[in-house]
Structure 1
């Protein structure tokens, strides 16, 4: 529950900045083009924060770094509201972005440890609650505007509330990293730590490349979905806005359901079939001449992408639990680069082809992700389906029955021994 709170907190603080962008842009007196460049500064700060927080999380522990990231993020939220020119706004966004990156990586690393201790996939549910924070930020921003608060005051109030929540929730976090267990330990695999570390590093970077492609697709949808309906299909501004709404709603619903499917079918299936579904959806958007086809395509695109990033983050963290923070920072950092690059790449392609045809690039990226999903086949993320229940799903016939009966007998014997010891005590 504490991890859920931090994901909601992060979504709320970041969303508070987003809903105040128009007012801050007007107050500072900059153009849309200048704002776009300043948002790159925010992303640069976040990327640096991720790379710093990852190793720091592994060294100091998530119970220390996560609350610190939440406090810093809340304490710096009001800085963009105080900016009076592009230079001060750039400095404010650089600091705020750095603190965002610290909170992002550390809370995801902590979510990996919670998932490890919980015994089944829960990462997608955490990412779904991030969207809940965005809704809260929108409601709070509307209330602040109706109350006549200027951006700095409204953001300061939300930031102070964020600091209080971060400090109050800190005690409920996991006190330490769970012990490393599972099939990738040296005892079971016979692999030396040095060799295993080299293999893990290469695998993590492959996960990072997949995250880059998936989050590039997500970033492109965030900025171009509404414009697609308006410019290509001639929809009104009000109708076009529902394109992004459809995509975002499908993303949220998919993340709420993805953990259940990952528990039953495994993270590999979520990534492979989800990316394939996203490829079908964005292809329908690119070539569908009707409005209903576009809405269907954006829904499939969001639903398919929804579970991909959580599986990649989870696999990176489980690849080496002792270095979960550093590994998550690599995947999240490169993925964040994709998120920022997505809108720009599509914008550049529109100089060469029509907007809907530029989306073919997203189809290729999703198809490549589906093909490359096999990287999840190895590593500790297999423990999601480990144990007697998972083994039974892969075995049939008398061997499965024997394994099931033997596992049940062993569990019953252990339970009896535990109860007997308790009675003697």
Structure 2
């Protein structure tokens, strides 16, 4: 039995800037990595699950990169099929406009949902005309489309009605896909661009938990008949709800300093018949690294000096206490004026991030909130504040212990 290879990607967000930095060259770099993987792995099918663009009115260079992708893929010697669906950032009309032209090159685009769900059921054949998969190309389901499509529902909540309409849409598409597949030993693959219950978000990368007014979608048994669920919308590669075959492939580029510890990748799935044999993450290298600096202002200055010696472009966030914001801003301007390869794009006042930083920092030390005492937690807060005055820190610790003692005594009374 011939094995089937599927490459799953999503959330390209072509055209997105980082602060005021245009990232065209970075997108070109990471797409070149994608092309190298295509040549090496030679997948039979490529899935692009939404948010191709960052805006419904993408820049000319963003559109050029998209059509360059379509052109390059269509010229590959191993002739993969490509299925592209629209996301919440995309214009369905813009994606669908060249639909007929692209389909002649084995590239199938579903920018927006149709009342005729048969259009979302795509039989995929190889070059020899042999059927190799059924793809359910469900794009981002907009609230207005779900309003038109929903049936009478017993639930009163508008959000629940929309969830019911979404579930019904998938159930009908899946039923059509199962009927089309029949007894063939080929995978039934569903695509979606939504926030699935159990997915992990990064709240600073531009991804919001609810898409439109929907919130997290609980699939229940909706996707039980699906052999692989190719998801888009969340930017961190992950499986969902402990199911290995329900996956977000994640975005191509890091779009926020909160992603500095994350790795980007493409997802490669190998099937033998309907059965998944392997799932592999193909790592993507950041063309320009994002670095988040911590420590005293002087320590961060030294770290930047070391980075400058490497003569490699980097994007930097400095986290400084309020009294160092002005010196840090002057330092940022100085580096920009001399065209340093180190670009400080973000200055973050530590007091604003104190609670978040502590919550992120404790697990890195192997400590949970259940294990730490109140005074230890307070000391962590003082570290974040960078008071640089040991006498003041000692005085504050004494005051905290006194307050803690008084509160405990009140509880006993």
Normalization by structure 1: what TM-score? 0.26
Larger radius of gyration: 2
Which fold has the larger relative contact order, with Cα–Cα distance below 8 Å and residues 6 or more apart in sequence? 1
